[in-house]
Structures are given as structure tokens and as C-alpha cells.
Amino acid sequence: MADLQAVIFDVDGTLVDSERDGHRVAFNEAFAAAGLPYHWDVEQYGPLLTTTGGQRRLTRFLVEQGYDDQEASALAETLQADKTRRFAAMVRSDLLPARPGAVELVEELRAEGVRTAVATTGSADWVHPLLDRLFGPDAFDFIFTRAQVPALKPDPAVYLAALAGLQVPADNAIAIEDSSVGMRAALAAGLRCLVVTNAYTRGQDFTGAAAVVSELRASGELVGSGLASQVDVALLRWLCRGERLAS
């Protein structure tokens, strides 16, 4: 029976609705600015998300378009730098919303003395300003990005770094993720993982999750279970104790 001491959050798709109308748009602007004939539409972007990290995603895509490995990675690096500038500008223009219930959940956790951290594959250039704007400067004890942890999910390194920073055993913490690849990173770090799906990740394989829900806010439905709930401190404490939802 482990008591909840910390919650570690993913950013993209979990705390923030950032993919469809954020990262995807910035990638497309970078393609256009470079004079390239590519445009990732809403549907096409879903399968690309299984490759974490913008630069790796671009490299994979360019190889699929026929570039050789060296050309693809050089072009991906240039495109990624431009995309990052564009996405950071979107953040500064307050175009990216927190997922409903996310701000309230973080506040509730901190009010109850549960520590909070972030574990993301995203770039520090936009992660810090985004979290500051949406959650305030003191919402998280630690924020780990690709700047500190270059090994991207599903590698568990970013979750292990967060646990080491928090100095909390994995048994006393829970991760909140939106995707199968993110969940696998959390599980490989020894964490329990609550999955909050979104339109891109619904239907992925979440075997091993402590629970799968469709929303963070009250009235979110538990997917694959007859129970209705909301993601709050009580649910997270319960999951941390090793309780499982009937499926």
C-alpha cells in the first residue's frame, strides 16, 4: 500500500491540447517557409505522433518521402529549428489551451501537499513559457524536457529523471499520460500510469494502465469501465494504492 506523494505529468496531449492546432500548424508553416510541398492534415498527423520529438518525426517523414538518411536528418534539423520558433510564438500569443480540468487538478494536488513534476519530450524553448502562462510559475517542482533528457519516450529516462529530482520512489508516484508511447515510458520507469485519451490517442493499446479516462475534468467517463469518475486527488491516491478499475 503506497501513499501518493507525487504526480508526474506529460505535456503534449495531456496538460495541453497542443498537437492538432499547435505543433501540426507550426510544422506546416515551416514546410511552407522552406518551399517544400508538404502539408500534414489533421488525419495524417495522428500516425506521425507515434514518433516522439519533432525532429525525429520530421526525419521519419522525409525518409518516407524518399530522402536518404543524411539529407533527411539535415533538413529535419533546419525545419525543426524554424518550427520551434513558430510554436514558441504561438505560445506567446496564448493560442494553446490547457485541457479542461488540468489547472484545477494541479492546484488541488499542491493544496493537498502532493508534489508535481513534468516529464516531456518537447523542447525547453516552448515548454517553460507554455507552462508558466497556463499554470503559473510555481505549479511544478520539476520540469524535465528534452534539454535535460535527450532520450525520448518510450525511453523511461525522462520519468526516471523526474523521480530522481523529486526523490520519491516510483511506488509513491503516478504518471498521467495521453498516449501509448508515453504510457510505456512511465511503466518502464516503474510508475503506475493514468491515461487521459484525446482524439489522436483514443483506441491505442493501453495495456498496463492503472486506468484510462477520456477527460480530466468532472464527468469524464472511464473508458472500458462502468464507473463514472473525475480525475482528482482522491482517484489518484486510490490508484497509487494499487487499486484497479474493473474493465
Q: How far apart are CA 212 and CA 198, in angstroms?
A: 11
Write down the least CB distance from residue 179 to ligand XBP, Å.
Answer: 6
- Contact flag: residue 128 with ligand XBP (CB under 6 A): no
Q: What is the DSSP letter of 19?
A: I
Write down the least CB distance from residue 79 to Mg ion, Å.
Answer: 21
- Contact flag: residue 86 with ligand XBP (CB under 6 A): no
Among 28, 59, 116, 179, which residue interacts with ligand XBP (rule: CB under 6 A)? 179
- Contact flag: residue 115 with ligand XBP (CB under 6 A): no
Based on CB atoms, which residue is closest to ligand XBP, 58 or 168?
58
Beta strands in 34-182 (DSSP E): 115-119, 142-144, 173-177
* Cα torsion angle, 44, 50, 55, 60, sign: negative
Q: How far apart are CA 79 and CA 11, in angstroms?
A: 22
Q: How far apart are CA 25 and CA 90, in angstroms?
A: 10
Based on CB atoms, which residue is closest to ligand XBP, 34 or 218?
34
Among 4, 7, 10, 213, which residue interacts with ligand XBP (rule: CB under 6 A)? 10
- Contact flag: residue 182 with ligand XBP (CB under 6 A): yes
Q: How far apart are CA 122 and CA 38, in angstroms?
A: 22
- 120 contact choice in ligand XBP, Mg ion, none (CB below 5 to 8 Å, kind-dependent): ligand XBP
Write down the least CB distance from residue 171 to ligand XBP, Å.
Answer: 23
12 is catalytic: yes
Q: What are the b/e assignments for 32-49, b being 16+ CB within 10 Å?
A: eeeeeebebeeeebbebb
Q: Which of 70, 62, 63, 69 is nearest to 34 (CA)?
A: 62
- Contact flag: residue 13 with ligand XBP (CB under 6 A): yes
Q: How far apart are CA 112 and CA 4, in angstroms?
A: 11
Select from 39-47, 95-103, 115-123, 189-197 the region that touches ligand XBP (CB under 6 A): 115-123
Write down the least CB distance from residue 60 to Mg ion, Å.
Answer: 17
- Contact flag: residue 153 with ligand XBP (CB under 6 A): yes
Percentage helix, strand, coil, to 5, in the chain?
Answer: 45, 15, 45
Please work out the total of residues on this chain that contact ligand XBP, with binding judged by CB under 6 A: 17
Residues with active-site annotation: 10, 12
